[in-house]
Structure 1
């Protein structure tokens, strides 16, 4: 890559940092739809801010009615796509840093979206700025598409695709380096059942905001007194897991404390809903709670659900219960399965329904798997850029995470998390190292020049 591009990127550090801080300070969590703001006012504010920043850099910017925007460099008909997103998941529990102040400590910027996905998306925009200001000749255009509904239903990409042709080739800076060319399929199930008439009486339970988050805490109010609290204490001692119980005038409040994370990456995490289900069954809960405890519990491989499977391309299925609520005498829950490339999602749903006796099971979200051959120009070009800028060997990987790469005929996930970094997407105290984001910016510039340059 030309020395001029490196010099420009190095000169952007302060501007990039200041801009990212402004972006992080906008709590762009999906809210109530308004006119011109289909995903709520804060996401609309975030979109307007991003568009204003891109226009100030001199780019052509288009607003797709609050669903997404695009930023274009070059006027060639054929374009390379970069797909990022501006929405973030809810904050959740366990933060020790303010989630929307963009605090910088020891070279790290803390805040929801620093990693997923505002930091990498903005790095891509600044990479385009460097290419333009360096005067790099392009044979293809570059189009950055910034969506606003990646963390939920991808309505943004559906709307964008209905109004503008999405380029065939590109990448999403919304995962890890070196590169991900295989994404598992997604099968998200909604579960409904009437509460049990017999057994332990559960008065309240409502845990989880998103299907794709491993909940770190689950609280339930059950009938009883000191006897229940003593049983909770004994169960905690027996299992070695963190449960607490508080006797109140309404009953006993029980808390299960897990280890939160992204549902696609359950290894090393602990689902608080699963913990609570196992405890409640041990305390005498029957019906739907007992069924869920037996079929799901704290497993994340779908074995007891009858859904465990794997293949050599994408490895094991993962399964996470992200939401469980008792409302108006009925249970509502969700299961988020990330399915191997060769898995049959229809059969997986049937297997889950057979295991969840008494539940009405419906598929809320179904997305096919995505695989791009490792030998193609896209993968080899991106890995070459990664290797040149890092000096490390790059090999393609698979993931249970879902990125916008799926909407491209030839699309992969490319950064910005490096192999030695802790992944705190969807977790407390999410952060990104500013030096690493600047390195990612260089990798993106290098990659885009390889793909679009003359």
Structure 2
């Protein structure tokens, strides 16, 4: 890569840092739609902020009615796409740093979106700025598409694709380095059942905001007394799991403390809903709660649902219960399955439904797997950029996560998390090191030059 590009990127550090702080300070969690703001007021504010900043960097910007925007470098008809997102998941439990301030400590910027995905998306924009200011001649245009609904239903990409042709080739800076060329399929089930009229009486329980988050805490109010609390303490001691019980005049408040994370990466995490299901069954809950305890519980591989499977390309299926709520005399929960490339999703649905007798089961989201061959020009070019900038060997990987790479005919996920970094996406105290984001910026510039330059 030309020396001038490196020098320009190094000179952007302060401007990039200040701009990212401004982005982090917008709490762009999806909320109720308003006029001109299909994903809520805060997401609209974030989109406006990003567009204003892109224009200030000298790029033409288009607003797709609040669903997304695009930023283009070059005027060639053939385009390379970079797809990022501006929305974030809810804050969740366990934060010790302010989630929406862009606090910097010891070279780290803390905040929801620093890693997923505002930090990498903005790094891609500054990589484009370096290419532009260095005067690198392009044979293909570069188009950065910034969506606003990646963490929910991807309505943004559907709307964008209905109004503008999405480029065939590109990457999403929304995962890990070296490169992810295989994404598992996604199958989300919405499950309903009437409350049991026998067994332990559960008065209140509402946990989880998103299907793709492993809950870190679950609380439930049940009928009971000090004897109930004693049972909870005994069960906590027997299992070694962190449960507590507080006796009140309304009943007994139970709490299960898990380890939160992204639903696609359950290893090392602990689902607090699964913990609560097992505790409720221990205390005498029957009917739907007992079934969910038996068929899901704290498993994350779908084994008791008859859905456990794996392949060599993408490894094991994962299953996460991200939401469990008691509403209007009915239980509602979600199951988020990330399915191996070779898995038959129809058979997985049949097996899950067959093991959830007495439940109404609906398909919430279903997405096919995505795979780009390792020998493709796209993969080899991006890995070459990664290797040149890091000095590390690059090999393609698979993931249970779902990125915008899926909307491209030939798309991969490319950074910005490095192999030795802890993945804090969707977790408390999410942060990214500014040095690493600047290195990612150089990798993105290198990659885009390889893909688009003459």
1: CA distance, partners of 2:114 / 2:71: 20
1: CA distance, partners of 2:224 / 2:293: 21
Match of residue 381 from structure 2: 381
1: CA distance, partners of 2:50 / 2:200: 52
**Aligned 1:339-358 pairs, distance under 5 A:** 339-358=339-358
Give how far 1:345 is off. 1.0
- Per-residue CA deviation, residues 360-387 of structure 1 (Å, 9 max, x unaligned), is 0111000000000000100000000000
The aligned length equals: 454
Match of residue 74 from structure 1: 74
Match of residue 35 from structure 1: 35
Query: Could you list the runs of 5+ residues in structure 1 that have no partner in the other structure?
Result: none
- Per-residue CA deviation, residues 190-221 of structure 1 (Å, 9 max, x unaligned), is 00000001101111100000000000000000
Give how far 1:357 is off. 1.3
Match of residue 297 from structure 2: 297
Match of residue 330 from structure 1: 330
**Aligned 1:43-62 pairs, distance under 5 A:** 43-62=43-62
2: CA distance, partners of 1:195 / 1:412: 44
2: CA distance, partners of 1:328 / 1:170: 46
Give how far 1:90 is off. 0.1
Moved >2 Å (runs of 4+): none
**Aligned 1:438-453 pairs, distance under 5 A:** 438-453=438-453
- Per-residue CA deviation, residues 328-371 of structure 1 (Å, 9 max, x unaligned), is 11000000000000111111111011111111011100000000
Match of residue 208 from structure 1: 208
Compute the TM-score of the two structures, normalised by the length of structure 2.
1.00
Match of residue 243 from structure 2: 243
**Aligned 1:235-274 pairs, distance under 5 A:** 235-274=235-274
1: CA distance, partners of 2:402 / 2:281: 33
For residue 203 of structure 1, give the secondary structure of its aligned residue in structure 2: strand
**Aligned 1:126-137 pairs, distance under 5 A:** 126-137=126-137
1: CA distance, partners of 2:152 / 2:394: 31
Match of residue 423 from structure 1: 423
Give how far 1:26 is off. 0.2
For residue 114 of structure 2, give the secondary structure of its aligned residue in structure 1: coil
2: CA distance, partners of 1:168 / 1:294: 45
1: CA distance, partners of 2:266 / 2:165: 35
Match of residue 287 from structure 2: 287
Match of residue 315 from structure 1: 315
2: CA distance, partners of 1:349 / 1:326: 24
2: CA distance, partners of 1:109 / 1:320: 29
Match of residue 361 from structure 2: 361
- Per-residue CA deviation, residues 201-242 of structure 1 (Å, 9 max, x unaligned), is 111100000000000000000001011000000000000000
1: CA distance, partners of 2:393 / 2:185: 27
Match of residue 154 from structure 2: 154
**Aligned 1:113-192 pairs, distance under 5 A:** 113-192=113-192
For residue 273 of structure 2, give the secondary structure of its aligned residue in structure 1: helix
For residue 22 of structure 2, give the secondary structure of its aligned residue in structure 1: helix
2: CA distance, partners of 1:145 / 1:61: 10
2: CA distance, partners of 1:280 / 1:49: 46
Match of residue 391 from structure 1: 391
Give how far 1:32 is off. 1.0
1: CA distance, partners of 2:346 / 2:52: 44
For residue 322 of structure 1, give the secondary structure of its aligned residue in structure 2: strand
For residue 304 of structure 1, give the secondary structure of its aligned residue in structure 2: helix
1: CA distance, partners of 2:251 / 2:53: 53
- Per-residue CA deviation, residues 267-299 of structure 1 (Å, 9 max, x unaligned), is 000000000000100111000000000000000
- Per-residue CA deviation, residues 111-137 of structure 1 (Å, 9 max, x unaligned), is 000000000000000000000000000
2: CA distance, partners of 1:353 / 1:256: 27
- Per-residue CA deviation, residues 370-416 of structure 1 (Å, 9 max, x unaligned), is 00000010000000000000000000000000000000000000000
For residue 29 of structure 2, give the secondary structure of its aligned residue in structure 1: coil
2: CA distance, partners of 1:362 / 1:38: 25
Give how far 1:108 is off. 0.1
For residue 304 of structure 2, give the secondary structure of its aligned residue in structure 1: coil
